[in-house]
Structure 1
């Protein structure tokens, strides 16, 4: 187990390496996961998340790849909560915590490194002040990233505020298990243990309705090939799913060609999934020079459903003063062809 430190273009990054050569790289800009390298069926290691080739592109493009989203992930309709006016940065709405400043694109402080015989990790911290983006309370947010020898990578977010406020963080990593994004995610297989999804209106805002997935293209309760299923959804996947309570992993993503598999288990009540359908940008250079193309990655974002403050059935994201609230997600990486 070891931590390798890098510095380039004014950004610090840290690569966590386990005893089986799996490694995860996190940079302090946005507490962002820039790479997760795992082996394929032939033992070749490659990056299974979308990441820019140059650190400066994270600053230039602000594309959320791998970033920590806080205080609140997703949209808040009309950018209002109680009498508080939040930053409008998505039309008249509030998106991903606002942009004055946007926590996903700010430097985080490395609080400490963690290293034992079986684990290696980092704890990063960000302090957002009372009134920033319209939110009440000065809040300390910690992000803990831990990799162990079993192939489990755990992200833990904790928020504590000196006033009642809103907290609904997530990580915005896009996965592509082909490795270095050599193929789109169409042939990959997704399973989500969820009976309900959050319906969206024509403006992609939650309606508040939670239809059953049965007999709909949102039914991923059994392993389902992504491409044909997403083709049935206008605009692709950008929806939230209500996760079932189960002792088993709630989400599985598998690439049968490479053999790579990741499972996800979280204490968050929901998962927002984006298939990056119609997401194209020729300015981007990702994973060794590739431009961003439709369905090049799929994001799996554990969180409370977006716009929860306007839909009580979604759950609460209001946290009391001086009480820490924690969300934790464990991703376990493996290869189905390993003996």
Structure 2
């Protein structure tokens, strides 16, 4: 995978850091003010349309990225949300494979982070507190008794600026957001870039970059809910999932890591060989009970080796296969355990229990409070840079 890296002086190992750190950021390009019609290649396109305004009067745009193999991604400047993702099935029919809404109004209401960019810190921080250089910082408690996904007004609820980027057999959307010092309780003015790139071979790259002017913590991820069957009335229990991880991060009753890393062998958490999600999700297991199913972070193998295979999901009915590649140390596999039939589907009806799953590449939960975990600290002068790829195919 072609990721440009300059002056790298920090590549992670499991016991140390796993953020890729750089001393330069890429030069920005100007954003055209008019509708964008792609010229990246003859096979990949990008177009911009207005999507509405928030209650505060903020303009939200939708960018549509398409290739000639039937893959289409719609991304909103509100929350950096993947509002739609269509990929072909084994018959060549492109259908929707992510949970989403039909209107901006629904996205601005409370929802479980459908399709959103997550920051500053993905996953949970115990009791909403962490300490840097002897100073304690307090965050909003939005998942009692803990802080979750950057807070109630995290990156999933802000307006990102957008610019088209293109080159090769791909079309890209580069989003930018500047998170002010002490926003949601986090120190430092953090400048964040997230670039979505659709390639001609049905892969979607998500590249994250950030710099800060004060020591802070960062853990960015993407929170799309997938259902590869394209039938959102069906649970995802028949999907066959693989996770390349020998160890799991067990959690306490509030879903905060205990600090241990446990072997997945002979447990419901062993996905090293593909198995259906529903095989053991109802097993009499203490960890499953705490998450009400799978809602845990796995310790990915081959850390420190850059982009590598992390996980996959396969739906036999449609033939769709999703593979996830990343340079991150962990992946949170979540099976939609808290979907409760209260949120509307695009086509009528509601999203029921376990009708979508997430594969969130990230650092471990509560890392700022767990000294043995890879660090999530970002210092001034460093450049946080990480990448995740979602590759779609059929078999």
User: Shorter chain as normaliser: what TM range?
Assistant: over 0.9
Bigger mean CA offset, 230-239 vs 24-33: 230-239
Give the Å deviation of 1:278: 4.4
Deviation, 1:86, is 2.1
Structure 1 CA distance, aligned partners of 2:143 and 2:344? 25
From 65, 78, 85, the equivalent of 2:138 is: 85
Distance, in Å, in 1 between the alignment partners of 2:154 and 2:369 is: 22
Q: Counterpart of 1:270?
A: 330
**Unmatched runs of 5 consecutive residues or more in structure 2:** 1-43, 54-59
In 2, Cα distance between equivalents of 1:163 and 1:18? 41
1:4-38 superposed Cα distances (whole Å, 9 cap, x missing partner) = 22223322111100121211111000011111101
Q: Does 1:72 align with 2:98?
A: no
- Residue 309 of structure 1: SS of its match in structure 2? helix
Structure 2 counterparts to residues 211-226 of structure 1, below 5 A: 211-226=262-277
- Matches of 2:346 and 2:322, distance apart in 1: 19
> Partner residue of 1:174?
225
Calculate the TM-score normalised by the size of structure 1. Answer: 0.94
Of 104, 124, 129, the residue aligned with 2:180 is 129
Say if 1:46 and 1:180, in contact at 8 Å, map to a contact too: no
State the alpha-carbon separation in 2 of the partners of residues 210 and 267 from structure 1. 19
Q: Deviations over 1:174-216 (max 9, x none)?
A: 1100014242111110000000111111222211111100010
Q: Please list, as runs of the form range in 1=range in 2, the aligned pairs for 1:158-173 lying within 5 A after superposition.
A: 158-173=209-224
Aligned to 2:49: 6
Q: Which residue of 2 aligns with 1:148?
A: 199
Corresponding position of 2:85:
36
RMSD: 1.5
CA distance in 2, matches of 1:204, 1:160: 29
Pick the structure with more strand per residue: 1
Alignment equivalent of 1:98, drawn from 151, 166, 169: 151
Match of 2:161 among 106, 109, 129: 109
| SS, match of residue 375 in structure 2 | coil
Indicate the SS of the match to 1:187: coil
Counterpart position of 2:104: 55
Q: In structure 2, the residue corresponding to 1:114 is in which secondary structure? A: strand
- String of CA shifts for 1:76-111, please: whole Å, max 9, x gaps: 112112122222222242111112x3221111111x
| Aligned counterpart in structure 2 of residue 279 of structure 1, from 314, 339, 352 | 339
Contact conserved, 1:74 with 1:307, CA < 8 A, in 2? yes
Q: 1 CA distance for matches of 2:235 and 2:222?
A: 21
* Alpha carbons 2:214, 2:379 under 8 Å: kept: yes
**Distance in structure 1 (CA, Å) of the matches to 2:320 and 2:129:** 42
The residue number in structure 2 matching 1:189 is 240
| Alignment size in residue pairs | 333
- 4+ long deviations beyond 3 Å: none
Report whether the alignment pairs 1:323 with 2:374. Answer: no
Measured in 1, the distance between the counterparts of 2:349 and 2:195 equals: 30
- The separation in 2 between residues aligned to 1:61 and 1:202, in whole angstroms, is 24
Deviation at 1:117, TM superposition (A): 4.8
Query: Residue 313 of structure 2: which of 229, 239, 253 is its match?
Result: 253
